[in-house]
Structure 1
């Protein structure tokens, strides 16, 4: 199910938090509705299925978005696309909950998961610019209700805000599973200390501070406590006043649990088998790390503001100077709340997110004034995201998210026939290789997300073969006499060897 929405940006004003004040909206670029409608159609029908490999000289096989949602058992998703620094289009697809009829619209709320972090980081940087926080001051000197535990590592160095935001503080706990309906919710201090009813370890420094990048949702939970201690207010209100109101993100809240008044507009999370997450979604008291409920449109407003600020065209929340700091990589492409790559017009910032039952992605090119936000209500949504991004990249001529082009070698028919046969991984696990049209057919082969089928494999060399249907590669082995004795099956880091038996 597709829900058409307006071409130019328009946000329905709703009161997600008390004392909401609607901020001034930036004018969006003017788009021709017919041109945009045609673009949407091309994006929707231009998905190159995973693994995103195409054969040089051959037209790629393309699929429709709704078709691919069914393959990955993604009940619903929502997209917002930025072009020329404006939100060019926004669309909802599918349904909020499997078995239901409520459609996903651009106003449907999704869990942003780890995309909560860049918004929280921008909030902290807002108070840095106000002189209330320092990027390089000892965090423990500002924390009041809890302190980072002292140990050998903290005696060698002190954790700073810069290190918290860039995942270089040496803190533990990469992510949080949240709390299912009916489970006792811990306090923030219990989360930091790792004591019952918490489902994650204590947050502490256990490697040299500043020495390396290690993704740490624990660091953003410390940030949450820091902002509460320094400002003396609930965390959702702090972010609301620093960022959400100023950017007209009127469909966003960090409130956990989600207020009952908003639950009817929220998407339910789904497991890989398509079943609804018990309780519909988990609760995340780790708000700064994973607690934002929002829409692609609201996150697009955030991404647009960061782009404009970097280009010196806006300072609604942060100045150009502080945004440049935010987008300067410290280690392994991690800036202050965002990940960055590329240079010049190809410079990009991004962040992904994954909560139980939800997967999402936000990216933007500041020099190009382009970007996109995609949010899904499924654990398998992350597998669908690259296919959507490839289609968007083709339509908007982005430098990234391109399919991998491989050249098929010409191999003599006799050499291919020599590979045909049956190969055994285990007594009950076998693969059959046949030949046709200058290629090999392998049956069965793993096809994402969890199926098996007969797949075509193109030769890269007389003994190495790739497919456009799966990320499995096949390499055949010969003995000293030149006889084919087996094959090596590889998928990423996983390898399996099979002996030829026929």
Structure 2
């Protein structure tokens, strides 16, 4: 009996070992595919897919370091760092901390919802009922309706201030009340009500800063301490903190920010007193722990922070496709939640599916992260056969080269930026440029335009389609940019 049991046990160990080795081999192949075959959003039908290696793209976009973590079937499948945490410094490791930017918001939202369930905050009462250290001034005219926490969380409170630039090394850092009032040394405008609450979606980091003050007043604790014991510790996010600036003991394991040319930001990471909106230091693996907590809370399997009912409210889509702190998309059958984030010299993105325990997080320490991160996410989605972020196939056609010069010109795209189309060697190229001379010019690449028809073009690095609109004389008047079911007119200058 003992001999049989020993043999049986040995066989079990052997089978487990073999299974783990096979699983490791699968993961290794997936990582290799992602590292070697990054995909842009658009490919040309009938042609081999154009791919790039991760190393090539990091060099091209001057991004010193990247950290990636992927969740599969409810567990972290792999986490890996690439490049360096700082120019000339240590390599990025899975434990390297990055500034999360606006990914700070959903984690802070989770803490606010915990306070709601504890009876310390209300989702639907006037937020001023919870504010003690400061009060939100009433709006003017038609904007006199009280603002609620629910509206602040969903960016429907009508509040001002989109985002925050932070404070460079050596700058005076304002108190939270000074930020709310727009008083020096704050570098942003006062946070006020500018539109009727609950009627329109308008992204507002200012709203989350109001929420931060309400959470401090309701709990009687400083924000980093509140977040540590209410959400970070219960979820096992041991490599995360809302302390601003980052405490000295963590600096050795933190990434340093870099501009769009790969040059270090002078003085290092900016300080963000707007902690709920932009103050989290974290890792991709820790953000996946947050995402997994939402997934398991939804089905009642693990409710370390909030109830299943509150988790469901958090991922229920409202105006603008937003839940309580999270962007909601995907399909009705397979919804997903996520958030992106940008601080000076940092960029990150995460998303996770409600079902099946799938998700991914990518963080970078370079200002061109918004160009590269979607490619990484798309390639991960393709590798794991997730339903979203698929490659678009478009058909390119040949058109009369004699008409191309008519389309070259400069078009007024948005405040501070123009869209410039040039003709070089018989090919149209599109580039975003500064609309007026600046001390630090933007660094955007030229992208070839491919023709779908005489007046319709597409790019390989964007899902947008560009339609040329001409007058009766054949002169170009404006562009129509079609993307995401919407069209935007961009006038020629």
Shorter-normalised TM range = 0.7 to 0.9
In the alignment, does 2:110 pair up with 1:122?
yes
2:30 to 39, 44, 50: 39
Q: Which residue of 2 aligns with 1:460?
A: 452
Deviations 1:154-178 (A, max 9, x none): 9842221111111111111111111
Q: Which residue of 1 aligns with 2:414?
A: none
Shift of 1:313: 2.1
Q: Which residue of 1 aligns with 2:265?
A: 277
Q: Which residue of 2 aligns with 1:290?
A: 278
Deviations 1:95-151 (A, max 9, x none): 1122x1311111111001111110110001112122222211222122111111134
In the alignment, does 2:51 pair up with 1:62?
yes
Q: Which runs of 5+ in 1 are unaligned?
A: 1-28, 435-440
In the alignment, does 2:44 pair up with 1:84?
no
Against the structure 1 CA distance between its residues 416 and 334, is the aligned structure 2 distance closer, same or farther, given a 3 Å change threshold?
Answer: same
Q: Which runs of 5+ in 2 are unaligned?
A: 1-18, 411-419, 434-442, 483-487
- Structure 1 distance, partners of 2:301, 2:388, is 25
**Correspondences of 1:163-312 after superposition (within 5 Å):** 163-312=151-300
**Correspondences of 1:121-160 after superposition (within 5 Å):** 121-152=109-140, 156-160=144-148
Q: Which residue of 2 aligns with 1:48?
A: 39
Q: Is the 8 A contact 1:55 1:405 kept in 2?
A: yes
Count of residues in Structure 1 that have an aligned counterpart in Structure 2: 450
- Structure 2 distance, partners of 1:259, 1:308, is 32
Q: Is the 8 A contact 1:345 1:367 kept in 2?
A: no
Task: Name the Cα RMSD after superposition.
Answer: 2.9
Which has the higher mean CA deviation after the structures are superposed, 381-390 or 458-467? 458-467
* TM value normalised by structure 1: 0.82
- Structure 1 distance, partners of 2:315, 2:369, is 27
More helix by share: 2
- Structure 2 distance, partners of 1:240, 1:153, is 41
- Structure 1 distance, partners of 2:27, 2:318, is 38
- Structure 1 distance, partners of 2:250, 2:302, is 31
- Structure 1 distance, partners of 2:310, 2:199, is 23
Q: Is the 8 A contact 1:114 1:352 kept in 2?
A: yes
- Structure 1 distance, partners of 2:46, 2:143, is 61
Shift of 1:460: 1.7
Q: Is the 8 A contact 1:340 1:347 kept in 2?
A: yes
Q: Is the 8 A contact 1:349 1:363 kept in 2?
A: yes
Q: Is the 8 A contact 1:165 1:219 kept in 2?
A: yes
Deviations 1:420-463 (A, max 9, x none): 7798649xx995476xxxxxx4165549963348x4x5442245
* TM value normalised by structure 2: 0.84
Q: Which residue of 2 aligns with 1:416?
A: 400
1:370 to 339, 346, 358: 358
- Structure 2 distance, partners of 1:229, 1:336, is 20
- Structure 2 distance, partners of 1:476, 1:417, is 17
**Correspondences of 1:410-489 after superposition (within 5 Å):** 416=400, 418-419=402-403, 425=409, 431-432=422-423, 441-442=426-427, 445-446=430-431, 450-452=444-446, 455=448, 458-468=450-460, 473=466, 475=468
